[in-house]
Structure formats: structure tokens, C-alpha cells
Amino acid sequence: MKSDLLNALRVMADPTRLRLHALLEHHELSVNEIQEITQMGQSRISTHLAQLQKEGFVQSRREGKRVYYGLSKGEGIQEPMVVELALKAGKSLELYASDSLNLTRIIDRRQDQAKEYFNQVAGRFDRQYGPGRSWQAFGQLLLRMMPALDIADLGSGEGLLAELLALNARSVIAVDNSQHMVDYGTKKAMENGLDNLEFRLGDLVHPPIDDTSRDVVILSQALHHATSPMKAIASAFRILRPGGRLLILDLLKHDFSEAKELYGDHWLGFDSGELMQWLQSAGFAYIDIETVAKEEEPPYFQTVLAAAIRP
């Protein structure tokens, strides 16, 4: 009995296992869900879960093709004292706060069957050729369904997205910190007769747009260029009307350091936890964050979509 207790304590001396143990306190999770929450590698997660299960801290069950892990109950459960100490230690870890935010997001998403169905359909889209069927055509169709809104495209670059949005928007303000890009975008808008599209010189942290004047603010692959992403998000909140929506498309945190030199990036992407914290601090509500695309070629960039509403 003494040796079993000592062994259990040795197992729980590892910070990663403490982290996983605390994460599974109230909810069963699959390895994929744990990976999305913690941003740890799949093999690392599986290895630690196997050890926790072997020592009786964790149990698993299969549901279809997925295996879910949760804290052990009934026979085989570890000493309550050890379990309690492990939970307390896990909650004291620095990453516990961001893990909790991401866990809430994952559990909320389980309730959204429509989104899950969209992901399944989108995954099948390009597996089989169909004449005239393309994401470009679908995008044009969806643009025509968009109501007339006042939109801000922050970090717009040459304005490709802004031009598309202007086809059906009431007005679009595109902001970029490059005079060359602003001049180019203005010229293109004039050539295409887009009188509702205006380009302005400015940065993401202090966009030259009036308070509460926009229905939608978009940061598309722009936030990782901001000197202060948190201040950029706060500025987006400032210019949105109550009920307005912020949409962020950016890279999930990665370790391809060459991006700073190759693309001028200030940040190597962001994890969902820090995006959640910044959005909450700015005052946003109804926050939803998920990974929406994964590249199949090195360095395997992943794209994260964050959506939030100004109350």
C-alpha cells in the first residue's frame, strides 16, 4: 500500500500530468479536444493519459470512433487524498487559466450541431470533382446574401477582401499602415466603381475610424503584424456599434521563426487562450474561437477564427 502511494505521488510529480488531471475534473474529453485546448502534441497527450490511466487516476470510454477520458470513478480510483492534492496542484499551474477558458469554448461548441455539420460538409467539398463547383463560386453566392453593413477591414493590405465586401456592403473602410497599399487600393476602387470603399492610412492599434460607427470589424491575417494585439482588439471594440461583430482570422501559434524575417510578422501566431483573454478584457461577449484550416505542407500553418460581439 505504501509503495502504491509513493508511486502515485511520483506519477503526479509531472506538471503535464497535473495539467491533464485538472483539465478532466468535470468533463470527459477526447485527445483531439485536449490537443486543441492545450496546444500539446497528440503523442505527448496520449503518453501521459496512458500513465494516468495505468495508475487509476483516469478512465476512458469509447463512443463510436472516439475515445473520451475522464477522472476515475468507482473501482480503481486512487486515494482521495492524492486526487485532491493533484487537483489542487494542477489548478496552481500558470496554464490553468487559459486551459479553463479553452475548455469552456470546447464544451460550448459541442452544443452547436450546425457548426459541426458545416465542418463535416466543408471537409467533403473538394474530395470529388463537380463541374462549376468551387469555393470561389460559393464565396460569391454568400456575398450576395450579406446584408448592407458598415464594415472596417483593418490591416487590409492591397484590399482584396475589402473589394469583395464592398460589392454588397453599405460602406467599407480599409485601413493599412502602408501609403503604397492605400494608394493602390484607392486606385483599384476607383477603377472598379466602388464608391462605397474608402482606404485610410493608419495602424491597427489606433485606426482612424469614428467610435461606434461600424457593424463589422475584420482583422484578416493582420493581428500578428500589430505592435500590441490586445490594444488592436480594444480599438476594434471602440469603433463597433453595440451588437456589432468582430471577426479575426489569424495564424494559430507556431514555431516557424523565419516568418518574422520572411513576412515581417511581429508575432508567431496566437493560441486560443490568449485571444479569449484579450477579447474578454476588451469587453466582448459571445466569443467563439476555433481552428478552421490546416495546411498540409511544411510549416503546417493553422488558421484560427475568432468571432465576438460588442454588447
Helix axes 31-38, 15-23, angle to 10 degrees: 110
- Residue 1: its pLDDT value, please? 42
Domain boundary assignment for the chain: 2-93, 113-126+133-309
One-letter-per-residue 3-state SS of the chain: CHHHHHHHHHHCCCHHHHHHHHHCCCCCEEHHHHHHHHCCCHHHHHHHHHHHHHCCCEEEEEECCEEEEEECCCCCCCCHHHHHHHHHHHHCCCCHHHHHHHHHHHHHHHCCHHHHHHHHHHHHCCCCCCCCCCHHHHHHHHHHHCCCCEEEEECCCCCHHHHHHHCCCCEEEEEECCHHHHHHHHHHHHHCCCCCEEEEECCCCCCCCCCCCEEEEEEECCHHHCCCHHHHHHHHHHHEEEEEEEEEEEEECCCCCCHHHHHCCCCCCECHHHHHHHHHHHCCEEEEEEEEEECCCCCCCEEEEEEEECC
Tell me, what's the pLDDT at 143? Answer: 82
Q: What is the pLDDT of residue 63?
A: 86
Mean pLDDT by 10 residues, the chain (311 residues): 68 90 92 90 92 90 88 72 87 90 83 69 70 80 88 95 94 96 95 96 96 98 95 98 97 92 91 92 93 88 94 96
CA angle 134, 251, 238 (to 5 degrees): 100
Res 75: pLDDT: 56
Q: What is the pLDDT of residue 266?
A: 92
Given this model, what pLDDT does residue 56 score?
86
Phi-psi region at 264: left, alpha or beta (left = phi > 0; alpha = psi -120 to 50): left
Of 106, 229, 220, the closest CA to residue 172 belongs to 220
Q: What's the CATH fold of domain 113-126+133-309? A: Rossmann fold (3.40.50)
The CATH architecture one would assign to domain 2-93 is Orthogonal Bundle (1.10)
What confidence score (pLDDT) does residue 39 get? 86
